[in-house]
């Protein structure tokens, strides 16, 4: 079994916790409100804006033996730059106040998720960051494109309201193959354990983020 396969097997329970969040179940059944969707985008903004700083922090702390992973981190930085603005533009297209979101604060699970990964990079193993990547990109493939279509059909919002969800569902199909190749090159057991542990915690906190969102009436 490859490490990527083992990673997904070891985090199955935590992934199930995330996907069983009531708001995700509602969304996939077409039971969704604009309020709920804007609330999701708001929290997305508050973690997506940290993607580049987290990548930079990770890349700066990687040891020389993982220079190949630092190179991959630089590729991620180039591809992910500016995506938080996509989220804000989606909020505007839904009739929300993107500047209020930009200057607002995240809910506690979102704040804890981001803070936790910064801490894992700074105090633990910087490879831990790739546990978060596993959660966010894996969830995008499982949900994003499908959810975008269902929500758009239900709420009759313009395509401009779904640039974040639609693009990430499509982009992350390619990203996950790239990610899988990276993880299968990780041979050090401590590096592997760091990725697994971080993925487990982030699945839990990301699941709590979804549970913090308002349900459709």
**What does the pLDDT read at residue 142?**
65
Residue 57 lies in a domain: yes
> Does residue 216 lie in a domain region?
no
Residue 167 maps to a domain: yes
Q: Tens digit of pLDDT for each residue in 32-58?
A: 889 999 999 999 999 999 999 999 999
pLDDT tens-place string over residues 68-115: 999 999 999 988 888 899 999 999 999 999 999 999 999 999 999 999
| Structure confidence at residue 60 (pLDDT) | 97
Q: How far apart are CA 132 and CA 127, in angstroms?
A: 10
Provide the domain count of the chain.
1
Higher pLDDT: 98 or 160? It is 98
Distance CA 113, CA 14 (A): 14
Residue at 110 is within a domain: yes
The answer to whether residue 32 is domain-embedded is: yes
- Within-domain flag for 8: yes
Query: How confident is the model at residue 173, as a pLDDT?
Result: 60
What token pair was written down for 111? 């704040």
> Rounded mean pLDDT of 153-162?
85
Domain of residue 120 covers 3-211
Highest mean pLDDT among 63-67, 137-141, 154-158: 63-67
pLDDT at 174 over 80: no
Give the per-residue pLDDT at 172.
54
Residue 96, phi-psi category: left (phi > 0), alpha (psi -120 to 50), beta (remainder): beta
pLDDT at 147 over 90: no
Q: What is the mean pLDDT of the chain?
A: 91
For residue 139, is it within any domain?
Answer: yes
pLDDT number for residue 189: 96
CB 7 within 8 A of CB 1: no
Task: Pull the structure tokens for residue 192.
Answer: 């592997």
* CATH number of the domain within which 63 lies: 1.20.910.10
> Which ranges of 81-217 would DSSP assign to H, the alpha helix?
83-93, 98-102, 108-123, 129-139, 145-155, 163-183, 189-211
pLDDT exceeds 80 at position 148: no
Amino acid 164: pLDDT: 85
Q: Is the residue at 217 inside a domain?
A: no
């Amino acid at each position: 079994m490859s490490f990527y396969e083992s990673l997904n097997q070891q985090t199955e329970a935590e992934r199930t916790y995330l996907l069983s969040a009531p708001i995700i179940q509602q969304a996939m059944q077409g039971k969704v409100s604009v309020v709920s969707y804007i609330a999701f985008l708001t929290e997305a903004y508050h973690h997506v804006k940290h993607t580049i700083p987290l990548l930079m922090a990770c890349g700066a702390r990687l040891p020389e033996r993982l220079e190949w992973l630092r190179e991959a981190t630089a590729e991620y930085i180039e591809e992910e730059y500016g995506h938080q603005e996509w989220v804000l533009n989606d909020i505007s297209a839904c009739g929300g106040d993107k500047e209020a979101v930009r200057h607002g604060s995240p809910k506690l699970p979102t704040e804890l998720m981001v803070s936790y990964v910064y801490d894992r990079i700074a105090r633990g193993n910087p490879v831990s960051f790739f546990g978060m990547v596993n959660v966010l990109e894996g969830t995008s493939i499982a949900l994003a494109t499908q959810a975008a279509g269902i929500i758009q059909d239900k709420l009759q919002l313009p395509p401009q309201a779904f640039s974040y969800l639609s693009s990430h569902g499509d982009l992350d199909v390619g990203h996950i193959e790239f990610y899988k190749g990276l993880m299968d090159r990780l041979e050090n057991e401590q590096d592997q354990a760091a990725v697994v542990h971080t993925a487990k915690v982030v699945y839990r906190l990301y699941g709590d983020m979804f549970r913090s969102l308002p349900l459709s009436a």
